[in-house]
Structure 1
Amino acid sequence: MLYILIALICLLIVGSIFYYNTLVNKKNRMKEAWSGIDVYLKKRYELIPNLIETVKGYANHEQKLMQDLVRLRNEGLQTQQNQEKINAENHLSENISRLMLFAENYPDLKANTNFQQLQTQLESIETEIELSRRYYNGTVRENNIQVQSFPSNLVASIFGFENGIFFEINNSIERDPVKVSF
């Protein structure tokens, strides 16, 4: 009977260590995936001022759009919490879409070589952000499954592991068509 009790205690300890290490692994993968998104967001932040300067000459009457882009870019740079950064990025994406639609109405701007290069870079960065979001959301899914599944949820609750936050698009931003008015 004593051997059975010792075996059960050893099994419980080994199982706890296994689940703890698995949870740590999932949490670190999630952090690594978020840092990948962060890299592309910083590239986007660096590109936005160049894009704005190129468009400014053609769009004196669209100052509010330009000011909103600068403000949202700065908010995104200053935000530390994942959920706040996700919200800021959704608003920034909406305004970048508005800027691109705005540019469609200016043939001279569309023909501008600097604008074309910046637009190509922005499209490339947006694609990388999308891929990074997918990877990040995959790591969040795996983490959340581990945190919520029995018996690892017991270890997760004891050691304070939490569900990750998905990087989801805002329903009104990327799913609905962007409206531009002059």
Structure 2
Amino acid sequence: MKAMSPGLIIGIVAVLLVILLVVWFVSAFNRLVRLRNQVRASWAQTDVQLKRRHDLIPNLVETVRGYADHERATFEAVAQARTAAMSAQGVAGASAAENALTSALGRIFALAEAYPQLQANQNFLALQSELATTEDKIAYARQFYNTAVQSLNNAVESLPTNLVAGATGFRTAEFFEAAGAERGPVQVRF
């Protein structure tokens, strides 16, 4: 039996190391792709819930307007905040616009407290319930999105995956921040 030369052994070890490095690189890259796609998918679900909220608002405003038509400034503030939220770009823009919309909606609900007959209106109660349900879904979608962002950001910023991320253009994603009032459970009281 013929012994392998030291040069051949070094060559085999070098080839095996290159193969292992390529396998690791591909594995790390594929993990980053999965994480990025999870962030995109979770943002799409968040966006669906935000659009649902945007669609409920005109009905809510019209119902309240029937009882308090003289409160035009409040209705206009809600309409402007809704328009800004619908046209917001990016996570940071959506976050700021949605926080402004939440504040404007708070004024509508505060206004509704002054009208007992509105509080007894079945249409208003149904819209209030639907909006509360939607707010819960938004909170869950935001949490799911932020968890996906955290996973991606951890991978992009941690060794050794950050080497692959830097070489292939992966970047951290933005969190979808909630307004101070939204950080707890959403409760609409009448």
Q: Do the two structures share a fold, i.e. TM-score over 0.5?
A: yes
Distance across 1 between alignment mates of 2:111 and 2:165: 49
Distance across 2 between alignment mates of 1:64 and 1:153: 50
Distance across 1 between alignment mates of 2:177 and 2:75: 25
Query: In the TM superposition, what is the alpha-carbon distance from 1:175 to its structure 2 partner?
Result: 6.2
Any residues of structure 2 matched to 1:73-84 within 5 Å, and which? 73-84=82-93
Contact 2:91/2:175 (8 A) holds in 1: no
Query: In the TM superposition, what is the alpha-carbon distance from 1:107 to its structure 2 partner?
Result: 0.6
Query: In the TM superposition, what is the alpha-carbon distance from 1:93 to its structure 2 partner?
Result: 1.1
Query: In the TM superposition, what is the alpha-carbon distance from 1:98 to its structure 2 partner?
Result: 2.1
TM-score w.r.t. length of structure 1: 0.91
Query: In the alignment, is residue 146 of structure 1 matched against residue 150 of structure 2?
Result: no
In structure 2, the partner of 1:97 is 106
Any residues of structure 2 matched to 1:46-61 within 5 Å, and which? 46-61=55-70
Measured on the aligned residues, the alpha-carbon RMSD in Å equals 1.5
Larger radius of gyration: 2
Query: In the alignment, is residue 72 of structure 1 matched against residue 81 of structure 2?
Result: yes
Compared with structure 1, are the counterparts of its residues 18 and 156 closer, same or farther at alpha carbon in structure 2 (3 Å cutoff)?
A: same
With CA pairs under 8 Å and 6+ residues apart, which has the higher RCO, 1 or 2?
Answer: 1
Distance across 2 between alignment mates of 1:7 and 1:61: 78
In structure 2, the partner of 1:180 is none
1:71-107 per-residue CA deviation (whole Å, 9 max, x = no partner) reads 1111121223121111101111111122112212211
Distance across 2 between alignment mates of 1:175 and 1:138: 15
Contact 1:94/1:174 (8 A) holds in 2: no
**Letter aligned with residue 37 of structure 1:** T
Query: In the alignment, is residue 161 of structure 1 matched against residue 161 of structure 2?
Result: no
Compared with structure 1, are the counterparts of its residues 94 and 165 closer, same or farther at alpha carbon in structure 2 (3 Å cutoff)?
A: same
Give the alignment partner of residue 11 of structure 1, picking from 20, 24, 29.
20
SS class of match (1:93):
helix
Query: In the TM superposition, what is the alpha-carbon distance from 1:167 to its structure 2 partner?
Result: 1.1
Distance across 2 between alignment mates of 1:72 and 1:27: 30
SS class of match (1:60):
coil
1:10-61 per-residue CA deviation (whole Å, 9 max, x = no partner) reads 1111111001000000000011101111111111111100000111122233
Compared with structure 1, are the counterparts of its residues 30 and 56 closer, same or farther at alpha carbon in structure 2 (3 Å cutoff)?
A: same
Contact 1:23/1:147 (8 A) holds in 2: yes
